[in-house]
Structure 1
Amino acid sequence: MFATPAYAQAAGGGSAIASFVPLILIFAIMYFLLIRPQQKKMKEHQNMVNALRRGDQIVTQGGIVGKVTKVLDGADTTGQIEVEIAEGVKVRVVQATVAQVLNKTEPTK
């Protein structure tokens, strides 16, 4: 009349691997929809920042539009650029905060 606990456990038992399949599928979907595109975007941004040179017109993440006048490479200024935002007004900006390059200058040959 009543099912014993051992019988009830055996009836619903499956392989241990089958119970992990949904977890593995969720991880795979998250990787291909979120992690991989974000890594690709970060790599493209890093390449854009590394390719900055004098004369490029940029937009920072703060919305400042200016022209790169100097890429600073000292020990204490690594990763900074000097940007002219108005005639005679120059500011130092961290390279990683560059959001977009508006006009790219052609490299000199």
Structure 2
Amino acid sequence: MSSATLSLLAAGSAASGPPAWTSFLPLVLMFLIFWFLILRPQMRQQKALRDKIAAVKKGDQVVTGGGFVGKVVKADENYLEIELGQNMKVKALRNSILDVIAPPGAAND
């Protein structure tokens, strides 16, 4: 065989394969699935919790980072005064609140 024939065979076999970008397609699809099923819902949930904690006001029941459940007596921009029991009040950072408990009889979201 001549060198011209070999070069034509090599060029023909290289052109018949799939494009190079198709090898990345499964990775892109896995990332999109991961994004829509895990990351996006988690970001929405974190945003909702952040908004709920920012809206804490006097009279709300909250759960602190230490696991204490109490009623907010005084709300400041950075601090909350929480009543844990009769005549037992603590001052907590707003950032240390884990959850706001819905009052009994409130509609579920």
TM-score by length of 2: 0.72
How far apart are residue 68 of structure 1 and its match? 0.5
| Matched length | 94
Corresponding position of 2:41? 37
Unaligned stretches of 5+ residues in structure 1? 105-109
State the one-letter code of the partner of 1:38: Q
Post-superposition CA distance 1:29-67 (Å, at most 9, x none): 110111101111011101110110001111123210111
Distance 1:46 1:103 in 2: 15
Compared CA separation, residues 14 and 100, structure 1 to 2 (3 A): same
Structure with bigger gyration radius? 2
Correspondence 1:1-109 to 2 at 5 A: 10=14, 13-73=17-77, 78=78, 80-104=79-103
Q: Between Structure 1 and Structure 2, which shows a larger proportion of helix residues?
A: 2
> Percent of aligned positions with the same letter in both sequences?
37
Root mean square deviation of aligned Cα? 2.3
How far apart are residue 100 of structure 1 and its match? 2.5
Corresponding position of 1:107? none
TM-score by length of 1: 0.72
